[in-house]
Amino acid sequence: MTTPRPGLRERKKQATRAALREAALRLAVERGPDQVRVEDIAEAAGVSPRTYNNYFVSREQAIVSAVTADREARIAAALAARPSGVRLADAVTEAVVEQYTNTGEREHKALLLITTTTALRKAFLDTTAGIEPPLTAVIAERLDDPGAHTARVLAASVAAAVRIALEDWLRPSGNPEAVRNLDAVGLVVPSGSLPDRLRAALSPLAPAFDAAERRTQP
């Protein structure tokens, strides 16, 4: 339903976007993030620099998007997939945790990179805002909230909480030595457990979800 017809045009676009973000990530990992010019990324993707800017508004966004990809959509989908019987707060929490937990090999190197560079960390944290719209839609449906006023606030709060959790998680970024050590062992987790931090950050919002849920299904 969401894919009536891919269309050749659309496929090419997605291919270009993918090529750009992969190139951006690869180059950033190979040389340092500061040693990658837009021109390089565009060339590696077989595209003009101007076109690159039609897809990404900043170099950081391109690199980060290779890790973030379509996390927003996957979170929304994960939430929609949960049985409607469970408490909404729990469903949201688990959906979020789930999507931030599956960490592959490639993401490790990338996360490493992001941890060390300020600009990249900022860009990475900014991606949390992207989960807002899809989350709003799903929550609004569960709450039977056509105007989606409270759904929007709740979704935005979730995004903010996730942001805070991630902030804390990759805080000790000013310590290159520790990072290097972790790199040697193949670990990324800078400090503590991400799932735990996510749950902790989201838990204060649970009462708000409960109240909203109670309001529609007494």
Partner DNA sequence: CAGGAAAGATGCGCGCACGCAAGTTTGCGT
Partner DNA sequence: ACGCAAACTTGCGTGCGCGCATCTTTCCTG
Cα–Cα nearest to 195, from 101, 102, 119: 101
Q: Is 8 in the site for DNA (CB under 7 A)?
A: yes
Which residue do the tokens 């900043």 mark? 58
* Of 25-33, 113-121, 172-180, 196-204: span binding a second copy (CB under 8 A): 196-204
Task: Indicate which single residue of 58, 101, 181, 217 sits in contact with DNA (rule: CB under 7 A).
Answer: 58
Shortest Cβ distance from residue 15 to DNA (Å)? 9
Nearer residue to a second copy within complex by CB, 7 or 207: 207
Q: Is 192 in the site for a second copy (CB under 8 A)?
A: no
Cα–Cα nearest to 158, from 124, 142, 134: 134
Nearer residue to a second copy within complex by CB, 38 or 160: 160
CA distances from 61 to 53, 57, 65, 123 (A): 11, 7, 6, 6
- The region, left, alpha or beta by phi > 0 then psi within -120 to 50, assigned to residue 2 is alpha
- Helix (H) / strand (E) element for 174: namely none
Count Cβ atoms within 10 A of the Cβ of residue 74 and give its class: 0-12 exposed, 13-18 middle, 19 or more buried.
middle
**3-state class of 194 per DSSP?**
helix
Q: Is 16 in the site for a second copy (CB under 8 A)?
A: no
Q: Is 200 in the site for a second copy (CB under 8 A)?
A: yes
Shortest Cβ distance from residue 119 to DNA (Å)? 8
Q: Is 51 in the site for DNA (CB under 7 A)?
A: yes
* Of 3-11, 54-62, 77-85, 161-169: span binding a second copy (CB under 8 A): 161-169
Shortest Cβ distance from residue 48 to a second copy (Å)? 25
Q: Is 159 in the site for a second copy (CB under 8 A)?
A: yes
